[in-house]
Each structure stands twice: as structure tokens, then as C-alpha cells.
Amino acid sequence: MASEFADIESAVGSILGAIEVEASPLFSTVRAIAIADRKSALAAGVDLQMPAVLFGLDGRDKSASGQPVPGGPRLMVYVFATNLRSEDGARVGDVDGVGAFTLAHEASVALDGAVVAGNRRIGAVDERVVLSNERTIAIEQRWSVEAFSDSVTPTFDGQAIVGSDSVVSTQVGAIEARSVVFGFPGIDGEFRHGLGNEARTIRWVGQLRADNQNGINAIESEIENLMGSGGTSVLVDSVGRAFERCAIDSFNRRGERYVHPMTGQFVQNFELDFVQLAG
């Protein structure tokens, strides 16, 4: 019976093995190993056919406060580049091969946000050079592998208005019923007549992501144009629930726009509030 760890490793190996440069595999060696510590990972990698990538799971993070279950798995990735000409070639590449910096970038672009084992999303933690000598460079990447429930691209009026690369979760506000209470003379008790539901707020929270500044600008402009139209439509949230008669109520950029440290994408944290009209 396959374990979750084995499923994650298999998926990660497929992702890394599928990276190509000029129609050829980027890595000559893609290998899963049991990560005991950094020293053992480096010892396993230096004698492989280069460029190489080793990866494995080294356990789980701590559980969330108050939860009696382990946290998500931790994924470790090590990319290795060797160049017989110089350390500069191993670092940045030359006619003899791809450098470690490029290898690490391509691995991070492929892995960040990837969904594996059904409901696990890979997220970047950090990255560092852990081996550097006259000929060989190794870069360590740490990743979280978090469970998630939101697996549907949210849409409004059938459009993915926050873009295909954005990371979004949905918060559905409370719904309250409107009613009147009345009674009849000579009859004990009260009676209630329902009048429908009050309006409620539905909020998208997350990150707008795009390859460049213009991509983020286009997403934000589309959202603001839809706000100005004042129209209502069907909203489908990040777990596939559909809400009718929704209108965009407010758009809030949270903090400054920045560049993702590992993938190079431009990121804008945001909140987008919809109001579902009463009915």
C-alpha cells in the first residue's frame, strides 16, 4: 500500500524530470533519497552525473496550535552543478553546461504552487548555497507541502478575474434570515413569517501573481472595471460553491507589491469583497 510520502516523492520526481531546456531534460540525474541530514545529501550528490537534483522528505512540521495531529511534510531539494573550467561556470553556466543558479530557478518555478498527492500544495520556504568549491556548486531548497481544501479556480461571471497563477482562498460571511413575528388575539404563542435572506459578504483572500508588472496591472484594472459596472453575476468560490446575485463591493491591496524570492513572479497580496444580494 503506497504511503502519502511515496505519492509526494513520485509526483515531485515527475515534475523535476519533466523540466527541459532546448527540448532536452534539464537534469541528467533526478533521484529521490531519504534525507537524514544535509551532510548525507551532499555526499550522495557529488558523485552523480551532472547536472543533478536530489530530493526527499525529512519529516513533518509541527502541528498547528491545539491540533493533535502532525503538520505538513517538509520537502528538501538539492541541485548540483559541476563545471571543469571554473567555479564561475558551475555557478552561472557557460558553454560547458547550465549553472547552479539557473538549475535552482527552474526547479523553483516548476515546484512552487504545484499540487501533489491530490490535495497537497508545495510552497517555498527558503533557499541557500550549501556547497561551493573550485568546480561544484550545490543549492538547498526547503519546501512546505501543505494540505488544502480549495482546489477550484474561483470565477466571477465565468471569468478567472484574479488570473490563473494567483493563490486564493474564500471566506463566506454569515447569512441571516429576515422575518416578522406576529400573533393572533386569543391564541397563545407567536408566529413567524420568513421574508428571505439578508445580504452577506463573500471575501477572496490571497495573492495576485503574474510574470511581470503589466500582468498584475491588467488583473487589477479588470477588477476595478468590473466594480465600476455595478452588475451582478454568479460567483464560484475556491471549493466549487456557486453563489448567485453577487456584486464586487471592494478591492483592497494588502501591502506593497513584491517579487517572489524563488520564482521571480510579481506578487500582490489582496482582499476582494463581494456582496451577495438579499433574496
C-alpha cell at 264: 521571480
> Lowest-confidence range among 4-13, 64-73, 215-224?
64-73
CATH of 4-147, one of 3.40.50.720, 3.20.20.70, 3.40.640.10, 3.30.2000.10: 3.30.2000.10
Q: Kindly report, as residue ranges, where domains of CATH 2.40.30.200 are found in the chain.
A: 155-276
Report whether pLDDT(150) > 70: no
User: Under a CB-based contact definition with an 8 Å cutoff, are residues 104 and 127 in contact?
Assistant: yes
Looking at residue 67, its pLDDT comes to 57
> Lowest-confidence range among 33-42, 85-94, 118-127, 187-196?
187-196
Looking at residue 1, its pLDDT comes to 40
Q: Kindly report, as residue ranges, where domains of CATH 3.30.2000.10 are found in the chain.
A: 4-147
Q: Which strand (E) or helix (H) includes residue 40?
A: helix 38-45
Reported as a pLDDT band with limits 50, 70 and 90, residue 23 is confident
> Can you tell me the distance from the alpha carbon of 208 to that of 214, in angstroms, rounded to the nearest whole number?
12
Looking at residue 80, its pLDDT comes to 94
Fold of 155-276: Elongation Factor Tu (Ef-tu); domain 3 (2.40.30)
- 263-272 pLDDT per residue, tens: 778 999 999 9
| Strand partners of residue 78 | 54, 140
> Lowest-confidence range among 31-35, 101-105, 188-192?
188-192
Looking at residue 66, its pLDDT comes to 56
Among the listed residues 83, 111, 110, the one whose alpha carbon sits nearest the alpha carbon of residue 99: 83
- 165-175 pLDDT per residue, tens: 788 888 888 77
Looking at residue 74, its pLDDT comes to 87
Among the listed residues 77, 219, 228, the one whose alpha carbon sits nearest the alpha carbon of residue 162: 219
User: Under a CB-based contact definition with an 8 Å cutoff, are residues 245 and 196 in contact?
Assistant: no
Position 161: which residue type?
A: I
Reported as a pLDDT band with limits 50, 70 and 90, residue 118 is confident
User: Under a CB-based contact definition with an 8 Å cutoff, are residues 161 and 222 in contact?
Assistant: yes
> Can you tell me the distance from the alpha carbon of 178 to that of 261, in angstroms, rounded to the nearest whole number?
49
User: Under a CB-based contact definition with an 8 Å cutoff, are residues 231 and 225 in contact?
Assistant: no
